[in-house]
Amino acid sequence: MSSHSFKFIDLPTSAEQLGITRNELLLWVEEGRIKPFHGKGQQSIFRASDVQRLAQEVAGAIKTAEAAAERALGAEAGEGQTPDGQTPPMEARRTKRRDAIKLMGTRLSMDSRWAEMSDKDIATWLDALEPVQFERIHKVTEIAIERLQRVQTMMADFEKKTRHES
């Protein structure tokens, strides 16, 4: 773990190092499994040594749970097949390595800046591009559009679900 260089780490970093979500870490705080050094909720700060200790305590349980999930996914998908094109271990590594809340927040804040771009800006940029870049850029923009449309769809579904639960 990289927490050796820091005495204190924030909640998102602590959750990443533990391989859990922010909300799961907040539940662990409520259960008394770890105590924040300072702050409350999403603003909690933890001692790096406390996070390391907890990580060592739960490492065996997490490995056991991952192995069980891997077996279950393997049985569900059939041997030699992987759901959504990813192997369970790859998905587990991706989840631990990247905090979805940080990723989405950063990406959406960057994408919101498209409103600043004028047609003249885009035309000037296109004029400076090499033709060999067109295919790659076209593909990247298609992926971005598809993902943003998926975000909109999922948000609409979530809003409907939330309204029905209220």
Taking the C-alpha atoms of residue 63 and residue 54, their distance in angstroms, rounded to an integer, is: 14
What pLDDT, on a 0 to 100 scale, did the predictor assign at position 20?
Answer: 82
Alpha helices (H) along the chain: 11-18, 22-31, 48-77, 88-97, 100-111, 119-128, 134-165
Q: What's the pTM?
A: 0.44
Taking the C-alpha atoms of residue 85 and residue 68, their distance in angstroms, rounded to an integer, is: 20
If pLDDT is split at 50, 70 and 90, which confidence band does 39 have? confident
If pLDDT is split at 50, 70 and 90, which confidence band does 155 have? very high
pLDDT above 90 for 150: yes
Amino acid of residue 56: Q
Domain boundaries, the chain: 1-86
The Cα-based distances of 71 to 19, 48, 66, 68, 80 in angstroms read 19, 33, 9, 5, 12
The per-residue pLDDT for range 83-106, each reduced to its tens digit, is: 455 455 545 544 455 677 778 888
Phi, psi of 81 (to 5 degrees): -110, 155
What pLDDT, on a 0 to 100 scale, did the predictor assign at position 60?
Answer: 64
- The answer as to CATH 1.10.1660 being correct for domain 1-86 is yes
